[in-house]
Amino acid sequence: MKKKDLYPPGLDISRLEGYFIISIICAILFSFLFISECNEVEKAMKMSYDFDYFVLKDFKTMVFPYMWGFVLIVIFSIFLIPNFYGYFSKGSMSVYTMKRLKNPMEIHRRALFYPVMFILITSAIGLLALKGYHNIYLDLAEKIARMGG
């Protein structure tokens, strides 16, 4: 199967792929701010005199703001699906060609492949980042426990 068989005919997919790669890089870089917040918490903990009252925020509360980049990419990818279906009838006018092909699922394959691929890649990278951040959080919680907090 050729790459050109995976998206609507006439669509400039290389531009879309470039935007996707740039947005993934931005989401990853933005999520790295979670590490900075953990470092700030650790500094505050070391400067605190009363460890008995030092409370670490819940993991979900700490990490959620830094995962928005991945969520936005998934939402954008979901909105690509009707856009790709619309491209067949409005952009390339190839909906009639697609309906005459032997495989009736051809139009669905072309309209769904890239958005679903973007969703899966983004979810995998986001989950890997989340797992790494959870390990960092557990390490921070262990340091606080050892210091008597």
With respect to residue 89, please indicate whether it lies within any of the assigned structural domains: yes
The answer to the question of residue 3 being in a domain is no
Give me the pLDDT at residue 144, please: 79
> For residue range 105-126, what is the model confidence (pLDDT) as tens digits?
777 887 888 899 999 999 999 9
In a domain, residue 6? The reply is no
Supply the pLDDT for residue 52: 60
Q: Are 80 and 23 in contact (CB under 8 A)?
A: no
Flag whether 47 is in a domain: yes
Provide the pLDDT for residue 12.
Answer: 78
Query: Hey, what are 132's tokens?
Result: 């790494």
- Greatest mean pLDDT range, 44-53, 83-92, 128-137: 128-137
DSSP string, 39-96: HHHHHHHHH-S-GGG--PPPHHHHHGGGGHHHHHHHHHHHHHHHHHHHIIIIIS--HH
The pLDDT score that the predictor gives to residue 50 is: 62
Is position 1 within any domain?
no
Domain span at 122: 12-146
Structural domains of the chain, count: 1
Residues 24-67: tens digit of each pLDDT: 999 999 999 999 998 888 888 777 766 566 678 899 999 999 99
Mean pLDDT of 128-148: 89
116 in any annotated domain: yes
